[in-house]
Amino acid sequence: MIRVTVNGSSHALDVMDSTTLLDLLRDRLGLTGTKECCDLGECGACTILVEGRSVNSCLVLAAEANGQSITTIEGVASDGRLNRLQDAFLEKGAVQCGFCIPGQVMAAEYLLRQNPHPSAADVKEGLCGNLCRCGAYEQIIEAVLAANQTSRESLSPSGGGQGGGR
């Protein structure tokens, strides 16, 4: 049996040795926002945060996550409000089919936690492991840069923006 905390909720689960963290999230916990695509660590569709670090959940065994805290795309909004990145993706139209977007948002969340004020080059590098078959890269980069701007505004004395400071 393993114990994990997912988006703030504790779970005790029996898992097989071969169960991946991605399978655990999608098939056992019903958190299907994390997408399954290559299963090889090459596309980034399954990106989540484990103990605050960005990982491809298809490459991690569920047993390895025992005792750890996990954040998925379902856990980034709070009180029914999208976070600054989700707002920015919508505002910039950085969504076509949408399949890659949960992974893009999670990778961007990690990037902004590590580097709150990235350049466009930083964003490109930070998201280089997240593929978008629709080719929405330009809008995705714009969205991450816009979310960064929102964070700055929310930190300023006059700023009333939402979602900053995660």
Residues that bind ligand FES in the complex, under the rule CB under 6 A: 36-39, 41-46, 56, 58, 95-101, 132-134, 136
Q: Which is nearer to ligand FES, 35 or 84 (CB)?
A: 35
Closest distance to ligand FES from the beta carbon of 154 (Å): 27
- How far apart CA 86 and CA 101 sit, in angstroms, is 9
Q: Which is nearer to ligand FES, 127 or 151 (CB)?
A: 127
Closest distance to ligand FES from the beta carbon of 1 (Å): 25
Q: Which is nearer to ligand FES, 137 or 153 (CB)?
A: 137
Closest distance to ligand FES from the beta carbon of 59 (Å): 7
SS3 86: helix
Q: Which is nearer to ligand FES, 71 or 151 (CB)?
A: 71
- How far apart CA 61 and CA 64 sit, in angstroms, is 5
Query: Scanning the structure block, which residue is given the tokens 């298809």?
Result: 58
Write the DSSP symbol of residue 61. B
Q: Which residues contact 8 (CB under 8 A, 6 or more apart)?
A: 75
Helix ranges (DSSP H) in 49-136: 84-91, 101-114, 120-126
Closest distance to ligand FES from the beta carbon of 69 (Å): 20
Amino acid at 68: Q
Among positive and negative, which fits the CA dihedral 94, 23, 114, 124? negative
